[in-house]
Amino acid sequence: MRQNLLRADSTLLRYPIREVVEIGKQLEKRGHFSMVWENIGDPVTAGETIPEWMKKIIHDKATRCDTFAYTDSRGDIAAREYVLEHFSSEKVCTINDILFFNGLGEAINKILNNLPKEARVLVPSPTYPSHATAEAMHAGCDFISYQLDPTNNWEPDLNEIENKVRYNEQIVAILVINPNNPTGSVYQRETLEKIVAIAKKYDCFLIFDEIYHHMVFDGIESTLLYEIIGDVPGISMKGISKDVPWPGSRCGWIEVYNVEADVNFRDYINMLLLAKMLEVCSTTLPQKVLPTIYAHPEFDQLLKTRIQKYQQRAEEAYQFFKNIPQVRINKPRGVFYLVIELLELPYAQLEAKNKAVRLYLNELEQQTLQQDFQFAYELMGSQGICVVPLSGFGSQLNGFRMTLLQNDATVFSQTLQYIADAIDEYYQG
Ligand SMILES: Cc1ncc(COP(=O)(O)O)c(C=O)c1O
């Protein structure tokens, strides 16, 4: 090539949830075994079946000619009307303030990339990696973060948020993921109200990733941004990947709140719309079926059954790990993930499946790895379980995230046991 094609900041581009899979596949091949994939939040890959009524809705829509057309650039009108009526509020949002994207992944990138380079978004740590990576790539340097506190149910550190916002004029927005990936926490209303108050005080806008808004465990109260935002400008992000569940649809949307409250915010939102127009629109089919799926008489029960299963898994895992001294664990309050923190984690090795696996792991470990990456690789090579290291979620803490999605209760219990055995052996060195 006539020029170097790599951007100077290319090392910031990371997505560990899928990067571990590449390594896992190599290990499977060398060790002749089948990995238990605990890395990805995809209920369908984890074995959940799609009910016939849902397939029929999609089938019927797919046989109509208008499903093959473009939609309005903002998204299909009926889908936006449904979203406004059921997931949002006319007090802060109108039909024109809802914008559909090809998955929230696309929305995350557009939201960050259309900000000026100097305008920074304060993201949580740990965080869903797409947010941190998009923030870092747009700024051309490391992302700026606030800590979620594992000694306080992973609630955000409000003092840190306020101090960072107060002393860093470049911060224009605060990102909150609620219910949270990776920690499984669902924040107290009071915490969220305080974050809104900080945004108001320092003239920032809010970005609430609420893609898991339906995934809240029984007995847990949850608060959505539109309920507490008042007159502060903000964006709520939602989508159908997790609750329908249809991650392969690539369908998510943003609801912009109080767009007229600030001229700079309004101009920025107009840019987002122009950026979407440049691509014409997002995929039509999932938008067309969205109202019918959510309004179907069996949808609520389906969701309830799924959430009950995750809650049972969360309870089992919590009881299983809570007395292991090297581990810190918070019981999830929603979503379908569990973070297991590994305290004072050493570098060690586990007994590998065979010699070829050992040699490959040794090769990987020649580079300097973060402790929890080494643990995750060793866990794959010895127990055949793939998890995502906690440091891959932009955290300084060591540990890993597994899912609560496993459909087979026996396999889930076995997986917990294998992980506990691996932790025990690893700490013994
Ligand atoms: C917090 C969070 N936001 C956004 C996404 C991306 O969702 P989508 O499938 O709509 O791109 C995910 C996917 O795991 C997520 O966990």
| Cα within 13 Å of Cα(1), Cβ side | 4
pLDDT band at 387 (very low <50, low <70, confident <90, very high): very high
Out of 110, 112, 121, 211, give the residue to mutate to test ligand 1, the one with the largest number of ligand atoms within 8 Å of its CB.
211
Protein fold of 69-295: Aspartate Aminotransferase; domain 2 (3.40.640)
Query: What distance in Å separates the CA atoms of residue 427 and residue 346, rounded to the nearest whole number?
Result: 7
Query: What is the separation, in whole angstroms, between the first and last Cα of the chain?
Result: 47
Q: pLDDT tens digits, residue range 84-125?
A: 999 999 999 999 999 999 999 999 999 999 999 999 999 999
Q: Between 20 and 109, where is the model more confident?
A: 109
Establish whether residue 211 lines the binding site of ligand 1, counting it when its CB lies within 6 angstroms of any ligand atom.
yes
Protein fold of 10-48+300-428: Aspartate Aminotransferase, domain 1 (3.90.1150)
Q: pLDDT tens digits, residue range 238-272?
A: 999 999 999 999 999 999 999 999 999 999 999 99
- Chain mean pLDDT for the chain: 95
Do the two domains 10-48+300-428 and 69-295 of this chain adopt the same fold? no
Q: pLDDT tens digits, residue range 166-183?
A: 999 999 999 999 999 999
Note whether 27 and 350 are within 8 A (CB).
no
Does residue 329 surpass a pLDDT of 70? yes
Establish whether residue 41 lines the binding site of ligand 1, counting it when its CB lies within 6 angstroms of any ligand atom.
yes
State mean pLDDT over 409-421.
95
> To 10 degrees, the CA torsion angle through 331, 333, 337, 343?
-30
Does residue 9 surpass a pLDDT of 80? no
Out of 101, 102, 181, 214, give the residue to mutate to test ligand 1, the one with the largest number of ligand atoms within 8 Å of its CB.
181
Q: pLDDT tens digits, residue range 134-146?
A: 999 999 889 999 9
Establish whether residue 209 lines the binding site of ligand 1, counting it when its CB lies within 6 angstroms of any ligand atom.
yes
> Which two three-digit tokens encode residue 325?
């001294």
Query: What distance in Å separates the CA atoms of residue 386 and residue 25, rounded to the nearest whole number?
Result: 10
Out of 110, 123, 130, give the residue to mutate to test ligand 1, the one with the largest number of ligand atoms within 8 Å of its CB.
130
Give the predicted TM-score (pTM) of the model. Answer: 0.95
Q: Kindly state the percentage of the chain with pLDDT values over 90.
A: 92
Where do the structural domains in the chain lie, given as residue ranges? 10-48+300-428, 69-295
Ligand 1 atom nearest to 101, measured from its CA: 10
Phi, psi (rounded to 5 degrees) for 174: -115, 130
74 Cβ partners below 8 Å, 6+ apart?
A: 80, 96, 98, 99, 100, 273, 276
**CA of residue 211 to ligand 1 center, whole Å:** 7
Establish whether residue 156 lines the binding site of ligand 1, counting it when its CB lies within 6 angstroms of any ligand atom.
no
> Which two three-digit tokens encode residue 235?
């964006």
Q: pLDDT tens digits, residue range 273-301?
A: 999 999 999 999 999 999 999 999 999 99
**CA of residue 97 to ligand 1 center, whole Å:** 20
Query: What distance in Å separates the CA atoms of residue 312 and residue 342, rounded to the nearest whole number?
Result: 23
Establish whether residue 311 lines the binding site of ligand 1, counting it when its CB lies within 6 angstroms of any ligand atom.
no
Q: Is 269 left (phi over 0), alpha (psi -120 to 50) or beta?
A: alpha
**CA of residue 332 to ligand 1 center, whole Å:** 18
Using DSSP's 3-state secondary structure scheme, residue 380 falls into helix
State mean pLDDT over 63-87.
97
